[in-house]
Structure 1
């Protein structure tokens, strides 16, 4: 596959915190020229059968995917898995454990918002949840926008639900070692998602990349809707430094909320090796 392939290997459906079904995502991706696609819902793979069927019907090449939440140096980090066996029991069990505890965390978030004068947030957030096991900050953000507490979800995350603001509740997710091994042991590739998003200093970021590689991680998102354009080159350099494959994905959640749509990302920078080069045998073709 060429390095200029229009691949989108990071997006979310109603099975986690997206607003479109897997079939709607496939239609949107296909209309916008995507050639290789993966659904990467948060800690959840139950949407993959629908995604695979829709991709096949649309003539779109497909990779299994997931985005696993990890706690690393008291920071939530995301690891994308691509091309794994979705029937792998250890992966399924690990994801189920990672999903556990979200409801209690959500109730504590609602309590914090209530103390700030915003009542009914838990019930309000539930109205936006396709999968109650995966209630998240994004669902609270949509409630706060529709309740006219904030103008948009960006304002929500400036004023609520983040550390030091009302409604923030930390959560202990999977360990980095475990998340990488669930993916790798299921025959897939572990990819460090949107690394520029994490509030890590240079030393902490180096440790993250080093431990990720040590545990068996093989890729990093270089071009992503969660990065600014000037960061593409920085993480292309990181990919080369650590011998990682380069990935590409919009991190699309919703037509109304996402800054980057399918098909809108630039190509990977030159001098990196795309993840799809290593995953060709795992691509499900129509």
Structure 2
């Protein structure tokens, strides 16, 4: 057994430190794991939005991945911003080289908190056909789910329908995040097509939520890498990210980040 859970995040960099690779690594550390990274895209980003993005060459992504996996090893993988179809395909191929027992959490990052486009529209087909079949948990928010299925997702029935459609592409579980639902609760749907779990938390009146999706997905990956079953891992991750949102703080002139240094609690707590 390894002394620490090894989590590899394959994602973009947020120069402002609120989301992306930076949020992933903070989350993994807060949950007691060891975070590693394969950087896919460099962004110029702050609390006001994304000012620029530059994808890395495929060879650079592959070299980072191989360096981590071949020496340190990996207990879980989380993917985030992939930029375009070429990097989606490269990352899918790299993940397929891993032992199939290694859990993979796919966060289909398409649009930033500020509305900036983070995934090219022509990457949709590659994401659906190449990366989703290797996903243990797919974690879209309502906008990302709507983009993937080609239909708006605005309420709980839409969430159920979108989850059924997305499960048809091969992921084992869908965690459809309902943080943008038009009600007072942040309700997420976790389903594998048979079991259905609704994870509901009180909506926290804090605008400083930059990096929420990255944090949530990274928490799920870390807990899966530790050996938790999917429903238990997601329940603990939901509790963690809810408390991190409550600790979100102002930074810069826009939307500040969530507060990552929150201890994980057992699912029964």
Per chain length, whose mean CA-contact separation is higher, i.e. which structure has more relative contact order (CA < 8 Å, sep 6+)? 1
TM bucket (normalised to shorter chain) is 0.3 to 0.5
| Structure number with bigger Rg | 1
Q: TM-score, normalised by structure 1?
A: 0.37
Q: TM-score, normalised by structure 2?
A: 0.38
Higher strand share: 2
